[in-house]
């Protein structure tokens, strides 16, 4: 026990908690949006159980990955079509590609749906088209995909299971506390749901970028990085991602305030 309570481990725990909070934002956003597809009376329970089950499975995933990291690292297929596609594919590559494509599909589908509806108020009821069990399973599945990124990042900091598991549990508790707040905010400010969907779209692109380097990073061999038509697939940096998110949020806030100001001026002018 004394070996765990070292300055290094405590520092790693703080760093991991920060990392989980940063990487968990997109996860929390997905949970908040997806939970609205469950029956209204069960949405809170869906978020609650979805997060709890996902956190438990994330700890299990962490344990499995620590035990099998070497086996998962080796690429099981290498593309060698010069000028078209080159590079290695391992388990992480597949997870990132599947997760990225699914998130992009979800975001595009929801954006298209919101553009097609005529009444946003009726859409709130229409979105509750899945059972609570289906939504929980979706949340758990996507949480595991999001977890793969955060777990891999966490393993780069430390391989002490207790420290890693503690950080994951603390991040899960934070998501439980914040999930309802984020969802209520989106329900009261429907325009920000579109913003959230576009952020999810960027997250999907980020995951696809991570897929390009997954095999190369796992075995420390840059020649295994995926190349398409001679261009290397380079992941988006976290700095670029969060800068993009901040720009999107700033534009949305400024535009919404400007729109409210214009509407107020028009109402004032119409009364004269």
| Cα 234 to Cα 227: distance, rounded to the nearest angstrom | 9
Give residue-wise pLDDT tens across range 94-149: 878 887 887 788 778 777 876 765 554 544 444 455 677 777 777 777 766 666 65
- Residue 1 has a CB neighbour count (10 Å cut-off) of 5
Choice between 264 and 124, residue whose per-residue pLDDT is larger: 264
Residue 249's pLDDT band, with cuts at 50, 70 and 90, is confident
- Quote the tokens at residue 229: 């038509």
The predicted pLDDT at position 227 comes to: 92
Give the start-to-end residue ranges of the domains of the chain. Answer: 7-236, 237-272
Q: What is the mean pLDDT of the chain?
A: 75
Reported pTM:
0.61
The predicted pLDDT at position 159 comes to: 63
The predicted pLDDT at position 228 comes to: 92
Give residue-wise pLDDT tens across range 177-209: 776 776 666 566 666 667 777 877 887 888 888
23 pLDDT more than 60: no
> Which region among 84-93, 149-158, 167-176 has the lowest average model confidence (pLDDT)?
149-158
Beta carbons of 70 and 79 less than 8 angstroms apart: no
Surface-to-core class of residue 95, CB atoms within 10 Å of its CB (0-12 exposed, 13-18 middle, 19+ buried): buried
What is the three-state SS of the chain? Answer: CCCCCCHHHHHHHHHHHHHHHHHHHHHHHHHHHHHHHCCHHHHHHHHHHHHHHHHHHHHHHHHHHHHHHHHHHCCCEEEEECCCEEEEECHHHHHHHHHHHHHHHHHHHHHHHHHHCCCHHHHHHHCCCCCHHHHHHHHHHHHHHHHHHHHHHHHCCCCCHHHHHHHHHHHHHHHHHHHHHHHHHHHHCCHHHHHHHHHHHHHHHHHHHHHHHHHHHHHCCHHHCCEECCEECCCCCHHHHHHHHHHHHHHHHHHHHHHHHHHHHHHHHHHC
| Cα 191 to Cα 195: distance, rounded to the nearest angstrom | 7
- Residue 222 has a CB neighbour count (10 Å cut-off) of 11
């Amino acid at each position: 026990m004394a070996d765990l309570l070292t300055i290094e481990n405590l520092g790693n725990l703080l760093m991991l908690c920060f990392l989980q909070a940063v990487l968990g934002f997109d996860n929390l956003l997905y949970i908040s949006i997806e939970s609205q597809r469950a029956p209204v009376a069960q949405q809170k329970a869906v978020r609650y159980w979805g997060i709890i089950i996902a956190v438990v499975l994330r700890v299990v995933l962490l344990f499995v990955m620590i035990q099998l990291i070497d086996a998962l690292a080796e690429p099981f297929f290498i593309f060698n079509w010069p000028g078209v596609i080159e590079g290695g594919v391992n388990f992480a590559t597949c997870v990132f590609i599947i997760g990225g494509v699914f998130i992009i599909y979800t975001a595009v589908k929801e954006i298209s749906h919101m553009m097609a509806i005529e009444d946003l108020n009726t859409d709130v009821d229409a979105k509750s088209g899945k059972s609570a069990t289906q939504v929980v399973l979706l949340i758990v599945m996507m949480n595991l995909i999001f977890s793969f990124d955060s777990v891999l990042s966490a393993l780069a900091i430390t391989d002490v299971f207790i420290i890693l598991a503690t950080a994951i549990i603390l991040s899960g508790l934070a998501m439980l506390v914040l999930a309802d707040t984020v969802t209520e905010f989106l329900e009261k400010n429907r325009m920000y749901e579109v913003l959230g969907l576009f952020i999810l779209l960027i997250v999907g692109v980020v995951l696809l970028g991570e897929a390009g380097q997954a095999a190369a990073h796992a075995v420390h061999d840059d020649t295994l990085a995926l190349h398409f038509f001679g261009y290397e697939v380079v992941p988006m940096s976290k700095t670029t991602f969060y800068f993009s998110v901040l720009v999107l949020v700033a534009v949305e806030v400024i535009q919404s305030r400007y729109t409210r100001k214009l509407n107020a001026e028009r109402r004032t002018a119409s009364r004269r």
